[in-house]
């Protein structure tokens, strides 16, 4: 949700900033802009509505010189996507430019105050208030840039990662953060800012992860200076190494990141299980559970809180923990949980699931549960993210960077971690027999290979997808472990193809959605052969009697549903509790190819953002 980039060094900043914006475009892409201080002391701001490529066109005949600059790709919150609302924003005198990811909550009162002092606002954004406030601090209190930023930040509430530069000060770049991601790259005589490491990795692996409430001054030729926003104390920068490689953030020959990430799933699951799944011994070793398993064993209840696709993974987590560990589980969308004054007991365990580790509502749910004494366990992908920092313990999914806005490999690795965690806890609590434990763990060892088998049927899925591009509505049905998979399949379809789709527990269909079924209506039934098979078979018959077009995801060798369905995709046999790891793959492919057939922009869908850092 908005991406920020910054550079101060010896090279021309523009190229680095534009490349960085392209890498961060997954965070938002309704407008983009860049600000540069050139060698003649000019502060130039160029910004346009639309994608980063529009900005590049716009800048073709402009002065793009300068070795210090900031740039931004936007996902609109305050103010519609437009040239004037794009970042960077100038201050009144045009001496300062600022980029911002986050939200300034008290912008209205600050705007009223600044307006009374003669400041005129050119945009509808909350961000412009901050750059004006910085200028006010400079003028009113005769402060240098760094001090003015510091003083201004003591007046604002909200979330932010910012970058600030000044016309008269081409040797300085100021940045700060609260609750929005920020990484500083440290090169030889050069520094980089990024909302994540992707704009930085090409130039340096040495990075600093600023903590919340830190204000940072980067001065050409000097050591970086970090101060706490609370008491101005000096903080020693801690330089860490990023593990990311350039290959991880490029498409690697695939047409879209989404397709690359779908195909990466065998590898991302391997990385996810690496060192945790002991393939020889058929054991699961999770340090989080080794150290804190007791907390789970004694839990009165597990609460799972997340948003979007991560919430769907959480719904599967409920089936896993209740089936394997016999611990009651409540799963809640974080945005509801945080505001409804939920009952939380100190002996609850809250599992927060998040790919980005930055989703504002998920973080708020964690804080709420933490305040009430619950034990906080995190499952997240981005190392060092806010979710990771807020947990008492947890497990990284190690899926590698997920760039496609529609989440795919993050989902399967989250389900995999939930399965491994539930198995490890069940073993510790002795709620699972040794035989069942070994059998499921053995199946986990085979899961990557089984996903490869499904991926080898991509052409089959592609052909089927062509048949369904006419549809305006889809219904996805599933039961048990595969009911959340039906919801995830429907979400994938609507977010990338803009076709309306609903995921439903198959039997619940009779209480409403059945009214929608006619010969036009495609129904995707997730129906692998497990204990509820006969029940779902009856549901398929009900759909068939109303002439719905059925696409069924079935276990290899199935004959019963095959006879009824119009189209069938087979998946290999596995344990029921692991089946979502397989059944979701054809649904991801189906949505991808339907969206392609409809000419949609698969990696950058309208209105969506990869990481939702505002509530």
Size of the site for ligand G6P (CB under 6 A): 15
Of 132 and 354, nearer to ligand G6P (C-beta) is: 354
Residue 352, both tokens: 């927060």
184 near ligand G6P, judged by CB under 6 A: no
Smallest gap from Cβ 412 to ligand G6P, in A, equals: 13
Site for ligand G6P in 563-602 (CB under 6 A): none
Smallest gap from Cβ 60 to ligand G6P, in A, equals: 32
The gap between the terminal CA atoms of the chain, to the nearest Å, is 11
Of 148 and 249, nearer to ligand G6P (C-beta) is: 249
Which residue from 305, 356, 465, 482 is in contact with ligand G6P, where contact means CB under 6 A? 356
In this chain, which stretch among 113-121, 259-267, 569-577, 605-613 interacts with ligand G6P, using CB under 6 A?
A: 605-613
Q: Is 48 helix (H, G, I), strand (E, B) or coil?
A: strand
In this chain, which stretch among 56-64, 102-110, 438-446, 603-611 interacts with ligand G6P, using CB under 6 A?
A: 603-611
Closest residue by beta carbon to ligand G6P? 308
Smallest gap from Cβ 303 to ligand G6P, in A, equals: 16
Of 310 and 465, nearer to ligand G6P (C-beta) is: 310
Smallest gap from Cβ 258 to ligand G6P, in A, equals: 11
* Angle subtended at Cα 255 by Cα 354 and Cα 185, rounded to the nearest 5 degrees: 50
497 near ligand G6P, judged by CB under 6 A: no
355 near ligand G6P, judged by CB under 6 A: yes
> Is the CB of residue 128 less than 8 Å from the CB of residue 120?
no
Smallest gap from Cβ 382 to ligand G6P, in A, equals: 8
> Is the CB of residue 495 less than 8 Å from the CB of residue 407?
no
Smallest gap from Cβ 612 to ligand G6P, in A, equals: 5
492 is catalytic: no
Of 107 and 377, nearer to ligand G6P (C-beta) is: 377
- φ, ψ for residue 353 (rounded to 5)? -120, 130
Could you give the CA distance from residue 105 to residue 111 in angstroms, rounded to a whole number? 11
598 is catalytic: no
Smallest gap from Cβ 354 to ligand G6P, in A, equals: 3
Could you give the CA distance from residue 142 to residue 492 in angstroms, rounded to a whole number? 54
Produce one character per residue of 11-44: b if its CB has 16 or more CB atoms within 10 Å, e if not: eebbebbbbbbbbbbbbbbbbbbbbbbbeeeebb
Q: Which is the catalytic residue, given 49, 427, 549, 610? A: 610
CA distances from 102 to 75, 112, 158, 236, 472 (A): 10, 20, 7, 26, 35
Q: Who's near 477: CB < 8 A, 6+ residues apart?
A: 486, 503, 504, 505, 506, 509, 523, 524, 525, 526, 536, 539, 543
User: CA 526: distance to chain centroid?
Assistant: 26
482 near ligand G6P, judged by CB under 6 A: no
Smallest gap from Cβ 587 to ligand G6P, in A, equals: 15
Of 356 and 391, nearer to ligand G6P (C-beta) is: 356
503 near ligand G6P, judged by CB under 6 A: no
> Is the CB of residue 75 less than 8 Å from the CB of residue 30?
yes
Of 514 and 608, nearer to ligand G6P (C-beta) is: 608
450 burial type by CB count under 10 A (0-12 exposed, 13-18 middle, 19+ buried): buried
359 near ligand G6P, judged by CB under 6 A: yes
User: CB atoms < 10 A from the CB of 122, how many?
Assistant: 12
Smallest gap from Cβ 615 to ligand G6P, in A, equals: 12
User: CA 420: distance to chain centroid?
Assistant: 22
Which residue from 31, 125, 362, 555 is in contact with ligand G6P, where contact means CB under 6 A? 362
Q: Which is the catalytic residue, given 2, 272, 307, 380? A: 2
Which residue from 493, 611, 613, 614 is in contact with ligand G6P, where contact means CB under 6 A? 611
Site for ligand G6P in 397-426 (CB under 6 A): 405, 407
Say if strands 214-219 and 169-178 run parallel, antiparallel, or are unpaired.
Answer: antiparallel
Of 132 and 355, nearer to ligand G6P (C-beta) is: 355
Which residue from 113, 429, 608, 615 is in contact with ligand G6P, where contact means CB under 6 A? 608
Of 81 and 187, nearer to ligand G6P (C-beta) is: 81
610 near ligand G6P, judged by CB under 6 A: yes
Q: Who's near 457: CB < 8 A, 6+ residues apart?
A: 569, 570, 586
Q: Is 226 helix (H, G, I), strand (E, B) or coil?
A: strand
DSSP 134-152: HHHHHHHHT--HHHHHHHH
Site for ligand G6P in 279-338 (CB under 6 A): 307-310
Of 195 and 309, nearer to ligand G6P (C-beta) is: 309
Closest CA to 278 of 451, 399, 453, 427: 427
Residues near ligand G6P (CB under 6 A): 307-310, 354-356, 359, 362, 405, 407, 608, 610-612
Catalytic sites, residue numbers: 2, 610
């Amino acid at each position: 949700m908005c991406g920020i980039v910054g550079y101060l060094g010896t090279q021309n900043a523009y190229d680095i900033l534009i490349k960085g914006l392209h890498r961060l475009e997954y965070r938002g892409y309704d407008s983009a802009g860049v600000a540069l201080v050139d060698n003649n002391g000019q502060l130039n701001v160029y910004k346009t509505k639309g994608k980063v490529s529009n900005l590049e066109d716009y800048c073709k005949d402009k002065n793009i010189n300068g070795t210090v600059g900031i740039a931004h790709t936007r996902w609109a919150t305050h103010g519609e996507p437009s040239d004037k609302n794009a970042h960077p924003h100038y201050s009144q005198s045009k001496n300062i430019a600022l980029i911002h990811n986050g939200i300034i909550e008290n912008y209205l009162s600050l705007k009223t105050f600044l307006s009374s002092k003669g400041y005129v606002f050119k945009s509808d954004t909350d961000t412009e208030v901050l750059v004006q406030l910085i200028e006010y601090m400079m003028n009113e209190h005769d402060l240098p840039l760094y001090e003015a930023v510091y003083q201004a930040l003591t007046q604002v509430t909200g979330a932010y990662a910012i970058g600030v530069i000044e016309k008269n000060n081409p040797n300085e770049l100021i940045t700060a953060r609260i609750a929005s991601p920020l990484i500083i790259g440290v090169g030889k005589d050069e520094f980089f800012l990024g909302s994540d490491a992707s704009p930085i990795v090409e130039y340096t692996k040495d990075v600093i992860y600023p903590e919340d409430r830190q204000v940072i001054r980067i001065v050409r030729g000097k050591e970086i200076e970090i101060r706490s926003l609370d008491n101005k104390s000096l903080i020693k920068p801690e330089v860490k190494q990023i593990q990311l490689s350039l290959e991880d953030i490029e498409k690697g020959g695939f047409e879209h990141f989404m397709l690359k990430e779908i195909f990466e799933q065998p590898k991302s699951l391997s990385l996810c299980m690496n060192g945790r799944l002991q393939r020889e011994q058929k054991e699961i070793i999770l340090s989080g559970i080794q150290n804190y398993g007791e907390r789970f064993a004694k839990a009165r209840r597990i609460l799972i809180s997340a948003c979007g696709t991560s919430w769907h993974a959480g719904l599967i987590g409920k089936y896993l923990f209740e089936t394997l560990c016999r611990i009651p589980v409540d799963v809640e969308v974080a945005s509801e949980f945080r505001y409804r004054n939920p009952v939380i007991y100190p002996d609850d365990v809250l599992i927060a699931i998040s790919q980005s580790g930055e989703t504002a509502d998920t973080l708020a749910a964690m804080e709420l549960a933490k305040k009430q004494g619950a034990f906080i366990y995190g499952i997240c992908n981005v190392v060092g993210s806010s979710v990771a920092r807020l947990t008492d313990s947890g497990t990284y999914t190690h899926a590698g960077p997920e760039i496609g806005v529609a989440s795919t490999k993050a989902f399967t690795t989250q389900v995999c971690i939930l399965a491994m965690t539930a198995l490890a806890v069940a073993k510790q609590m002795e709620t699972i027999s040794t035989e069942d434990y070994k059998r499921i763990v053995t199946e986990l060892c085979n899961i990557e290979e089984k996903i490869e088998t499904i991926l080898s049927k991509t052409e089959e899925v592609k052909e089927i997808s062509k048949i369904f591009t006419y549809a305006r509505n889809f219904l996805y049905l599933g039961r048990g472990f595969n009911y959340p998979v039906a919801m995830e399949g429907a979400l994938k379809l609507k977010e990338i193809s803009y076709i309306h789709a609903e995921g439903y527990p198959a039997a619940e269909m009779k209480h409403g959605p059945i009214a929608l079924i006619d010969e036009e209506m495609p129904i995707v039934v997730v129906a692998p052969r497990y204990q509820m098979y006969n029940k779902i078979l009856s549901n398929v018959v009900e759909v068939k009697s109303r002439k719905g077009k059925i696409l069924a995801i079935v276990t290899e060798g199935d004959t019963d549903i095959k006879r009824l369905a119009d189209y069938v995709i087979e998946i290999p046999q596995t344990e029921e509790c692991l089946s979502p790891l397989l059944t979701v793959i054809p649904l991801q492919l189906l949505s991808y190819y339907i969206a392609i057939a409809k000419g949609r922009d698969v990696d950058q869908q309208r209105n969506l953002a990869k990481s939702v850092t505002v509530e």
